[in-house]
Amino acid sequence: MVQTTSRFFDEMARLMNDAAGVAQGVRREAETLIKAQAERILRDMDVVQREEFEAVKEMARLAREENEVLKARLAALEAKVAASGGGPTDATTAVV
- pLDDT tens-place string over residues 64-93: 999 999 999 999 999 999 999 866 555 555
Q: DSSP string of 21-60?
A: HHHHHHHHHHHHHHHHHHHHHHHHTTPPPHHHHHHHHHHH
**pLDDT for residue 28:** 94
- In this prediction the pTM is 0.45
Confidence of residue 6 (pLDDT cuts 50, 70, 90): confident
User: Is 80 in contact with 95 (CB distance < 8 Å)?
Assistant: no
pLDDT of res. 66: 98
Residue 24 pLDDT > 60, yes or no?
Answer: yes
Distance CA 57, CA 71 (A): 21
Kindly list the distances between the CA atom of residue 20 and the CA atoms of 14, 16, 31, 37, in Å, as whole numbers in the listed order.
10, 6, 16, 26
pLDDT at 87: 61
The span from the CA of 35 to the CA of 12, in Å, is 34
- Residue 46 pLDDT level (bands cut at 50, 70, 90): confident
Determine what percent of the chain is predicted with pLDDT higher than 70: 85
The residue count for the chain: 96
